Amino acid sequence: MEEAELESVVRAGTEQLLARVGAAFADQEEWADRLRAVAYELRDFLREDEVRARAMVLKAPHGNEETRRTREQGVEGLAALIDLGRQALPAPESVPPSVAAITAGTVYNRIHVGLEAGVETLDDEMVRELMFTAVLPYRGTEAALAELQSPNC
């Protein structure tokens, strides 16, 4: 894929994905439910078009400056959604904002590894694992473990 095409695919894909996850997020009321809806929407989006998914996840980090910046906007958007978990804490300052950025990076890495193995690995089990990771710092071990047992959406 040429650089201009990669940039176009990543830009268009990021816009589509952000619109879709924004709608999924808005359809729920509680933070973990919102994140779960986002995770399933992300999974579906990536599985719909493997070429687009590979461009956005595997190739974008090696693209030009604009492509990398667009990719970072997506990662930052995910971190912002995750960081909303602090609002429900009795002491929001007890979890630094950097935890959301670290968690978003972990999510991105898991998706990266999954795509390298094949788009079919982006499944319900992966979503439950990602939810465990996202919920743990904000809701604790019991809530995170419950995410591993949640039914498929």
* 94: Cα separation from own chain's centroid: 23
Taking each helix axis from N to C end, the angle separating 31-48 and 124-139, rounded to the nearest 10 degrees, works out to: 150
The position carrying tokens 């958007």 is: 77
63 phi and psi angles, rounded to 5 deg: -80, -170
The pLDDT value given to residue 109: 94
Task: Measure Cα distances from 9 to 6, 36, 42, 48, 56 in Å.
Answer: 5, 26, 16, 14, 7
Contacts of residue 7, Cβ cutoff 8 Å, sequence gap at least 6: 63, 64, 66, 67, 70
The full set of domains in the chain, from first to last, is 3-148 (1.10.357.10)
Position 151 scores a pLDDT of 80
Global confidence as pTM: 0.91
Distances from the Cα of 90 to the Cα of 86, 93, 130, angstroms: 9, 9, 24
- The answer to whether residues 103 and 82 touch, using CB atoms and an 8 Å cutoff, is yes
Residue 152: predicted pLDDT: 66
CB neighbours (10 Å) of residue 99? 18
> Which parts of the chain have pLDDT scores under 70?
152-153
Q: What is the pLDDT of residue 85?
A: 95
pLDDT at position 153: 58
Predicted pLDDT at 88: 86
- In the numeric block, which tokens belong to residue 142? 């019991």
